[in-house]
A and B are shown apart, each in its own frame.
Chain A
């Protein structure tokens, strides 16, 4: 089946310019049509008061149930602190080789670390995280090339260190898997 589009669904009150800029950066890597949608969701259903965070597993399954479509990769954009039971936090997650993924800008924002906000840096980090999660939906696993966007990043500094693009090997795999 030929992949027709990537759909970005915003749940995070991101402005249009920010979303368009993200879509351009994502298009540069995947070269397929990017569709932007906005959706509303009562996130309180996904809130865990003990952790004071939002359950990323539940959100991902919600995405899959509500928005997964054939011939499309769909990714939810959030701006809340995500967790999965085993980890203190995550930036995002996706079904490996699947149709959906999620990512949050919450911990990519400088203000989360008590530093002055930097809109360009946030855009850059969020685009890398989205490309990374989309890479997983295409079946790519983590890469050991230091500046490849598929390199695993557990701190925001790790995300800053990598490029916004796939290394040649991941790019080749992406084309094979497509």
Chain B
């Protein structure tokens, strides 16, 4: 029933309203009537209509003014103007003001059928467009999760098994490990994949903003609420809602979220009508929620409601075997976006990447590769293109011997093996540097 096209008929004549009402009801549409513009606006505030048929000549606010009001409230509303007193001027004005079409009373039944069919086609195209847009987003699915390591294989197996269920999922992992990609993969492999995946970054919003964002709001609910707005739960109907940084929500929001998860129904901010939505919840956090529950900072009942399935995304340092694949993936991604052919990375640079700790995980690696492609010579990514100088201390190398060797090699690489410049940077004389090169058996090809 929800997929029925809905029509609002606005006309002051009973016979017109009744005739159209019966006609559309027989065609299987959901129909409501309003005898004047004021009642029509009230109905439009509380309900949604796909098509609005408006008579021009009505006592009080006329149809042309109503058309302008409707368009200012909802620009994509399909408004069809009806009149018994047709003039070219009013027809042109109605179309200029955004009417979908203009029809003269009495109508040929076939003309009305055609008009409604065209309007319905436009509505279904707009709906299809929305679904396709969402589908494009969901195409970022499992192919974008790069990795051959055992840790990632285990994660992908978990994704596969939870995708087919409707259970709530909590994805945990350090910042930058790709939790959102995992959520997208779950959604795009589920039966909900043709419906939206709606993401909400809970940490980025204040409590009141988050409430209005999640539940939507009615016009006038607060200062600046000029229009009715659907909330993310409503937008995620039949699809999935992804709540990122779930640990940051306030105790009040935790209570409200629990209620919505249990009833799948909510009321818009400032509204009084209960709205139902069929959604699946996937949450993500980089915090230890269990510990937060023990400390009293996160509701235990909400934790158990959300934590039906837990997927732990490993940090990059625990899957260093995936670094070459990830590097290749990001090189390809950024070279393509910059209209360049993919460039290679030299072995020393790759080795350094594999040795690095990556506290910022994959996001940090991605940024490094993007930076290297932007600032590099465009032929090859070498060690000097990677911002490692400040991070040497993070290296897993602990011996002084190795540290000195790596540091000297970095400086030599930085100055293109210019001995004078490198010695000056290292604050040693040229002879000392030659001796060190000999001692560590350093070669220009090592860079």
Interface locus among B14-22, B182-190, B192-200: B14-22
Interface locus among B25-33, B262-270, B298-306, B434-442: B25-33
Residue of B20, B107, B113 touching A88 (CB-CB under 8 A):
B107
| A83 within 8 Å of B (CB atoms) | yes
By a CB distance below 8 angstroms, the chain A residues around B108 are: 87-88, 154
| A96 within 8 Å of B (CB atoms) | yes
Residue of A87, A141, A152 touching B19 (CB-CB under 8 A):
A87
Mask of A141-170 contacts with B, CB within 8 angstroms, 1/0: 110000000001011000000000000000
In the bound complex, CA of A87 to CA of B105 (Å): 7
By a CB distance below 8 angstroms, the chain A residues around B23 are: 86-87
By a CB distance below 8 angstroms, the chain B residues around A96 are: 22, 25-26
CB <8 Å contact, A154 and B110? yes
CB <8 Å contact, B16 and A155? no
Among B2-44, those with CB < 8 Å from A are 13, 15-16, 18-20, 22-23, 25-28
Residue of B22, B27, B105, B107 touching A152 (CB-CB under 8 A):
B27
Residue of A51, A83, A89, A141 touching B27 (CB-CB under 8 A):
A141
CB <8 Å contact, A85 and B19? yes
Among A76-92, those with CB < 8 Å from B are 83-90
| Nearest CB in chain B: distance from A146 CB, A | 14
CB <8 Å contact, B15 and A154? no
By a CB distance below 8 angstroms, the chain A residues around B25 are: 96, 141
CB <8 Å contact, A141 and B26? yes
| Nearest CB in chain A: distance from B21 CB, A | 10
In the bound complex, CA of A93 to CA of B18 (Å): 13
Known contacts A84-B19, A87-B19, A93-B22: A141-B105 contact under CB 8 Å: no
| A73 within 8 Å of B (CB atoms) | no
| Nearest CB in chain A: distance from B31 CB, A | 12
In the bound complex, CA of A68 to CA of B232 (Å): 51
Residue of A51, A57, A89, A136 touching B109 (CB-CB under 8 A):
A89
CB <8 Å contact, A85 and B15? yes
In the bound complex, CA of A152 to CA of B18 (Å): 18
In the bound complex, CA of A152 to CA of B28 (Å): 11
By a CB distance below 8 angstroms, the chain B residues around A155 are: 110
In the bound complex, CA of A142 to CA of B27 (Å): 5
CB <8 Å contact, A142 and B26? yes
| Nearest CB in chain B: distance from A158 CB, A | 8
CB <8 Å contact, B22 and A83? no
In the bound complex, CA of A158 to CA of B254 (Å): 59
Residue of A57, A87, A93, A141 touching B106 (CB-CB under 8 A):
A87
Give the size category of A's interface with B: 10 to 19
Complex: chain A residue closest to B14, CB-CB: A85
| Nearest CB in chain B: distance from A154 CB, A | 4
Q: How many residues of B contact A (CB 8 A)?
A: 20
| Nearest CB in chain B: distance from A8 CB, A | 21
By a CB distance below 8 angstroms, the chain A residues around B28 are: 141-142
Complex: chain B residue closest to A155, CB-CB: B110
| Nearest CB in chain B: distance from A159 CB, A | 12
By a CB distance below 8 angstroms, the chain B residues around A142 are: 26-28
By a CB distance below 8 angstroms, the chain A residues around B27 are: 141-142, 152
In the bound complex, CA of A51 to CA of B44 (Å): 35
Residue of B15, B26, B110, B113 touching A86 (CB-CB under 8 A):
B15
| Nearest CB in chain B: distance from A134 CB, A | 13
Mask of B135-162 contacts with A, CB within 8 angstroms, 1/0: 0000000000000000000000000000
| Nearest CB in chain B: distance from A88 CB, A | 5
By a CB distance below 8 angstroms, the chain A residues around B113 are: 152, 154
Mask of B104-120 contacts with A, CB within 8 angstroms, 1/0: 01111110110000000
Known contacts A84-B19, A86-B15: A136-B26 contact under CB 8 Å: yes
By a CB distance below 8 angstroms, the chain A residues around B20 are: 86
Complex: chain A residue closest to B15, CB-CB: A85
Complex: chain B residue closest to A150, CB-CB: B26
Residue among B22, B26, B28 with the highest chain A CB neighbour number at 10 A: B26
By a CB distance below 8 angstroms, the chain B residues around A83 are: 106
In the bound complex, CA of A142 to CA of B24 (Å): 9
Residue among A86, A90, A155 with the highest chain B CB neighbour number at 10 A: A86
Mask of A52-91 contacts with B, CB within 8 angstroms, 1/0: 0000010000000000000000000000000111111110
| Nearest CB in chain B: distance from A56 CB, A | 9
Among B389-445, those with CB < 8 Å from A are none
| Nearest CB in chain A: distance from B35 CB, A | 15
CB <8 Å contact, B26 and A85? no
In the bound complex, CA of A136 to CA of B22 (Å): 11
Would you list 13 pairs from A and B whose C-beta atoms are within 8 A, ordered by A residue? A84-B19, A85-B16, A85-B19, A86-B106, A87-B19, A88-B108, A96-B25, A136-B26, A141-B25, A141-B28, A142-B26, A154-B110, A155-B110
Closest 10 CB pairs of A and B: A154-B110, A154-B109, A86-B19, A85-B15, A141-B28, A84-B19, A142-B27, A88-B106, A88-B108, A87-B109
- B interface residues (Cβ-Cβ under 8 A, vs A): 13, 15-16, 18-20, 22-23, 25-28, 105-110, 112-113
- A interface residues (Cβ-Cβ under 8 A, vs B): 51, 57, 83-90, 93, 96, 136, 141-142, 152, 154-155
Q: 7 additional contacts, CB 8 Å, given A83-B106, A87-B23?
A: A84-B15, A86-B107, A87-B107, A88-B109, A89-B109, A142-B28, A154-B109
